[in-house]
């Protein structure tokens, strides 16, 4: 089933818009499959927005996304990626239609309260980033297991 990664950006959390934004996706009929409050580290923010690396506003964008906790969500449903983009509205909130999240709740491109994946493939990729910390722990565990096994074998030789 199609999934979209929807992230309430730091200004959305600080302004108390979490409930309002979740409510719009719930009322539409999409299914909430995962949610967490998360302080995004700089390297993950850079990875998430890597397609915009060459843009002049990139450093400001990374500062913005890492300026406070974000709410990370996986939403599921047929056509959820394109539909979520419609619910969210245009990148520049002044051009976003009334009735959209950005159209109703924001005025600046650099503080546009919410992110939505722009393709089903990017939806999968961005939701996958949330597994990175667990993967790092797994790799560390495997590495220390290997060291322990190697030293046990050396002692037996
Ligand atoms: P996301 O859902 O956050 O990916 O937004 P988008 O898909 O509508 O726009 P895009 O991916 O092109 O840009 C990502 C984010 O970079 C935007 O949501 C803005 O927060 C920021 N951004 C884009 N263009 C500008 C700009 O011209 N100035 C500033 N300050 N920020 C920008
Ligand atoms: Mg985008």
Q: What is the pLDDT of residues 87-138, one digit of tens each?
A: 999 999 999 999 999 999 999 999 999 999 999 999 999 999 888 777 888 9
Q: At 82, which helix (H) or strand (E)? A: helix 80-88
Domain spanning 3-131: which CATH class is it, in words?
alpha beta
Beta strand ranges found along the chain (DSSP E): 3-8, 31-38, 70-76, 114-116
For the stretch 45-72, pLDDT in tens is 999 999 999 999 999 999 999 999 999 9
Vertex 12 angle, CA 10 and 14, to 5°: 65
CA-closest residue to ligand 1 atom 2:
115
Report the alpha-carbon distance of residue 69 to residue 63 in Å, rounded. Answer: 12
- Ligand 1 binding pocket mutation candidate from 49, 50, 61, 64 (most atoms within 8 A of CB): 61
Domain boundary assignment for the chain:
3-131
Q: What pTM value is reported for the model?
A: 0.90
Q: What is the average pLDDT value for the chain, to the nearest integer? A: 96
What is the predicted ipTM? Answer: 0.96
Structural contact between residues 52 and 61, judged by C-beta atoms closer than 8 angstroms: yes
Check residue 130 and give its pLDDT: 82
- How many residues are listed for the chain in this entry? 157
């Amino acid at each position: 089933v199609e999934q979209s990664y929807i992230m309430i950006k730091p200004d959305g959390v600080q302004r108390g818009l979490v409930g309002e934004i979740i409510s719009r996706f719930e009322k539409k009929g999409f299914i909430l499959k995962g949610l967490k409050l998360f302080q995004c580290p700089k390297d993950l923010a850079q990875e998430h927005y890597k397609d915009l690396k060459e843009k002049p506003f990139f450093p400001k964008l990374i500062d913005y996304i890492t300026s406070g906790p974000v709410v990370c969500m996986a939403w599921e449903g047929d056509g959820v990626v394109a539909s979520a983009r419609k619910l969210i509205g245009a990148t520049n909130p002044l051009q976003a239609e009334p009735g959209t999240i950005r159209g109703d709740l924001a005025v600046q491109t650099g503080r546009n309260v919410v992110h939505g994946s722009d393709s089903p493939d990017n939806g999968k990729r961005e939701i996958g980033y949330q597994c990175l910390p667990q993967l790092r722990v797994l790799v560390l565990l495997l590495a220390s297991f290997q060291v322990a096994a190697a030293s046990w074998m050396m002692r037996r030789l």
